[in-house]
Amino acid sequence: MIDEEDIDLLLNDLFDLYGYDFTRYSRASLKRRIVRLCSLDKFPSFAELRYRVRSDPQYLKRFVEEVTVNVTEMFRDPAFYKSVREEVLPVLGTKPFIRIWHAGCSTGEEVYSMAILLKEANLLRRSLLYATDLNPSVLEKVRKGIFPLALMKQYSESYIASGGTHDFSSYYTAQYGQAKFDNELSEKIIISTHNLVSDSSFNEFDLILCRNVLIYFDKDLQDRVLNLFDASLGTLGYLALGTKETLKFSAVHNKFKQLNREKIWKKIM
Amino acid sequence: MEENHVDHTCEFLMIGGSAGSLEVLFRLLPLLRPDLPFPVALVLHRRNSSDSSLAELLGSKTLNPTQEVEDKEPITPGTIYLAPADYHLLIEQDRTFSLDYSEKINFSRPSIDVSFESAAEIYGPGLVGILLSGANEDGTGGLMAVKRAGGRAVVQNPDTAQMPFMPHYALTHLAIDHVFDTIQMAAFINSLV
């Protein structure tokens, strides 16, 4: 059994030794991830996990990877992508240049989904997609644009449900059980580590997507991140969150107007 | 067994169900009193979709306010909360809900085990966990956590379940406090204070 004081000690270590601040992560989920890792890596006690994290920077990498959730998929919530297609991209298309930020992009499935939408709207050539995550190893996967071939059937169905009319398999090459997405898509993706907890705004964007990331943060940290997004959005820029996330309880909510049933807001001031 | 321990106040009621559980809820919810003094959470295996009409459908069966959970929502007594499809439902120390999109557990998201375990940590003896019909092992590990924390574990009588496997699996793996059909379950919930 791991109690709250143990978690606090570990989180203090992580901050003092490595500068990673998990103290304002949603505790219920974080604790579950730590307990899971403890049993996955067969530590006889929590103290030994803590010792390993303190003394082995290589293990720290694994710790951060496993404790943060990196589950994602292409065209998750097709209705959301349909709305981006029909209501957001036509407006962004009036701009000479389009900057999009995927904050907490994990392995990049949503970034490639967006690149496909931009290509189909003939906007990809004048767009840049910034893909950031705190975790360098997942960003390596974004760079490669290689996802398991076995998932393509499901992704293809979601793509079609999002209003896609092309043959989804035309966007990738199948090889050795993997699907490698076209360079035409990946060359528009700029990859960088960025920690939403501690890093600041680095550009001005027309659209920021941060879906199913805020759920892992507590209220205070959610507010910090939403302020960061507010500061990083141009006038009339768009912010997209996950289907169960909301601006409703945040300080910035009166600066935004929700577009429709989907979790997309437009910055109005 | 039951006579030996003093029943703790119910601070939170969590109901888990899989295949065959909706029919039970459609019969159970109308029998519940309209002023439940504790919050209720329904953690159901269902089709992945952002379609939230299930909450409305369930809400039409009860006078208690019913809604699908949003992230970091405060937990209010008397409200029936539905775990959203394709997220795990967790509970924070400050008694708000948290959602989590990590790996499926027991092939399920939401996983009943995950929610029972999380609620057991927060509510301890104040938690009542009920497991309904289903064809999956999910829920048994969670009920064990409920019991370890001093809470009460209830299952639907497998003889009355469309899919008896889930409640039966729990019954064969831990000491369950009560085995109920729908009518008995409603009377039990209405008697909780």
Q: How far is A215 from chain B (nearest CA, A)?
A: 6
Positions of chain A with pLDDT under 70: 1
Prediction ipTM score: 0.89
Question: Closest chain A residue to B92 measured between Cα atoms?
Answer: A28
Structurally, chain B folds into a number of domains equal to: 1
Contact between chains at A244 and B93 (C-beta distance less than 8 A):
no
Choose the CATH number for A78-267 among 3.60.21.10, 3.40.1190.20, 3.40.800.10, 3.40.50.150: 3.40.50.150
Q: Is residue B152 one of the residues assigned to a domain?
A: yes
Out of B50, B102, B121, whose CB is closest to A77?
B50
C-alpha B186/C-alpha B191 separation (Å) is: 9
| pLDDT value at residue B47 | 77
Tell me the backbone φ, ψ of residue B111, rounded to 5 degrees.
-100, 135
Please state the domain extents for chain A: 4-67, 78-267
Q: How far is A125 from chain B (nearest CA, A)?
A: 32
- Catalytic, B45? Answer yes
Measured torsion, CA atoms of residues A121, A122, A126, A127, in degrees rounded to the nearest 10: 30
Contact A242, A216 (CB under 8 A): no
pLDDT tens, residue by residue, B119-151: 999 999 999 999 999 999 999 999 999 999 999
Query: Per-residue confidence at B3, pLDDT binned at 50, 70, 90?
Result: very low
- Catalytic, B138? Answer yes
Contact between chains at B70 and A79 (C-beta distance less than 8 A):
no
| pLDDT value at residue B184 | 98
Contact between chains at A80 and B118 (C-beta distance less than 8 A):
no
Q: Is residue B130 one of the residues assigned to a domain?
A: yes
Domain containing B105 equals 9-191
Marked catalytic residue, from B108, B113, B118, B138: B138
C-alpha B143/C-alpha B148 separation (Å) is: 9
Q: Is residue B150 one of the residues assigned to a domain?
A: yes
pTM, full prediction: 0.92
pLDDT tens, residue by residue, A103-143: 999 999 999 999 999 999 999 999 999 999 999 999 999 99
The two tokens of residue B82 are 């539905």
- Other beta carbons within 10 Å of A107: 24
Residue B152 is part of a domain; what is its CATH number? 3.40.50.180
pLDDT tens, residue by residue, B94-126: 999 999 999 999 999 999 999 999 999 999 999
What does the radius of gyration of chain A's CA atoms come to, in whole angstroms? 19
Q: How far is B158 from chain A (nearest CA, A)?
A: 31
